[in-house]
Amino acid sequence: MSSYAEELRATAQAMMAPGKGILAMDESHSTCNQRFEKLGIPTTEERRRAYRELILTTPKLSDFISGAILYDETIRQSSQAGLPFTQMMQAAGLIIGIKVDTGAKDLAACAGEKVTEGLDGLRERIAEYYQMGARFAKWRAVITIGSQMPSLTCLEANAHALARYAALCQEGGLVPIVEPEVLIDGNHSIQRCDEVTDQTLQVVFSQLRLQKVALDQMVLKPSMVISGQDCAQPASVEQVAEFTVNCLRRNVPATVPGIAFLSGGQSNLQASQHLNLINAQYADRLPWRVTFSYARAIQQTALEHWAGNDAQIPAAQQLLYHRAKLNGAASLGQYSAEMEQQQPVLA
Ligand code: 5MM
């Protein structure tokens, strides 16, 4: 048992506080720069810093956000006034999280499939991040659906890495967010996504047990069970909620304290509607707290409004706060379509 067990349980509970979710703002350079390029924002360290400062200084963000996942560059940065982001987050009541994987790389002998890397030196990196104030971590595995995919090779390789990462995190005092993302890319049906998500979660929990991960000291960050983005007959909100709840109930032990979904390319509206219906309709069937750990479905509107123009920071922050609020409501099953209309009026 980790000497941090009590602390890890308390951190996991705080990450899953009622009415709150986790903000993913851990885009690597390449992902962040791609998003900036589309909006004509210079892809410099300073602009990435300015954008992350915009997010972290959003007034009252902690009303609906328990913690935020940072990238290695970000955890070392400071505000324009010189205050380290870590101190800023602690003062704002945001738990500091850190992405510790080093990205999804091509998996040898499995064309088109990926395996996430980052185990080398991880124990030492975890110790450094803990000293810097981080209390949870994240590692994302990417599973692609195709005619011959995913292969068992890909599922096992990714689950093994996720489990070894999670065990190291718990040893070093960080709550591991275990993120097996089944990609929305493709024209597959919701039934096919269900089959793949089911298989993925089975393999992941089998490896977590094998690596002696304490299931009551982690958070699962799965994708929802949903039809592919090019599917001819997209699944309804009701189907997504039902398939997702059933799949999770089949595979996720009740001792896991919380599930925080990724948005995975869903629209803002879909991400809020799906999370809401899961909580509104199935509350009595969920042994875990179920919330969000969205990146795009919370940030994108604000990023587009800012677009690198600092005069737009207050308006962009209002937009960010608004999406955090709506998803906070969805995590309680209290979101409604009318709330979308309460969008802040921007100058
Ligand atoms: C922020 O995006 C994270 C991945 O970043 P890189 O691909 O640059 O490493 C990603 O893990 C994110 O945390 C989750 O996918 C949730 O983000 P979405 O946009 O799917 O809600």
Which pLDDT does position 67 carry in this prediction?
98
Distance of alpha carbon 307 from alpha carbon 326, whole angstroms: 23
Which pLDDT does position 346 carry in this prediction?
66
Mean pLDDT across 266-288: 97
Which pLDDT does position 342 carry in this prediction?
86
Q: Which residue has a Cα nearest atom 16 of ligand 1?
A: 262
Copy the structure tokens of residue 207.
Answer: 């490896």
Mean pLDDT across 81-94: 98
Catalytically active residues are 179, 221
The one-letter amino acid code at 307 reads A
Distance of alpha carbon 130 from alpha carbon 169, whole angstroms: 10
Which pLDDT does position 347 carry in this prediction?
52
Mean pLDDT across 100-114: 98
Hey, is 16 helix, strand or coil? Answer: coil
Per-residue model confidence as pLDDT tens digits over 164-223: 999 999 999 999 999 999 999 999 999 999 999 999 999 999 999 999 999 999 999 999
Distance of alpha carbon 338 from alpha carbon 133, whole angstroms: 39
The response to whether residue 297 sits with its C-beta less than 6 Å from ligand 1 reads yes
Q: Which atom of ligand 1 is nearest to the CA of 296?
A: 19
The response to whether residue 140 sits with its C-beta less than 6 Å from ligand 1 reads yes
Burial class (CB in 10 A: 0-12, 13-18, 19+), 211: middle
User: At how many degrees (to 10) do helices 313-330 and 296-306 cross?
Assistant: 160
Backbone angles phi, psi at 256, to 5 degrees: -65, 125
Distance of alpha carbon 67 from alpha carbon 75, whole angstroms: 13
Q: Give domain 5-341's CATH number out of 3.40.50.170, 3.20.20.70, 2.120.10.80, 3.40.50.1110.
A: 3.20.20.70
d(CA 1, ligand 1 centre) in Å: 30
Query: Cβ distance 311 to 285 under 8 Å?
Result: no
The response to whether residue 31 sits with its C-beta less than 6 Å from ligand 1 reads yes
Does the N-terminal peptide bond of residue 234 adopt cis geometry, omega within 30 degrees of 0?
no
Q: Which residue has a Cα nearest atom 11 of ligand 1?
A: 140
d(CA 347, ligand 1 centre) in Å: 30
Which pLDDT does position 2 carry in this prediction?
79
Tell if the pTM clears 0.75, that is, is over it.
Answer: yes
Over the chain, what is the mean pLDDT? 97
In this structure, is the dihedral angle defined by the CA atoms of residues 294, 292, 67 and 343, taken in order, positive or negative? positive
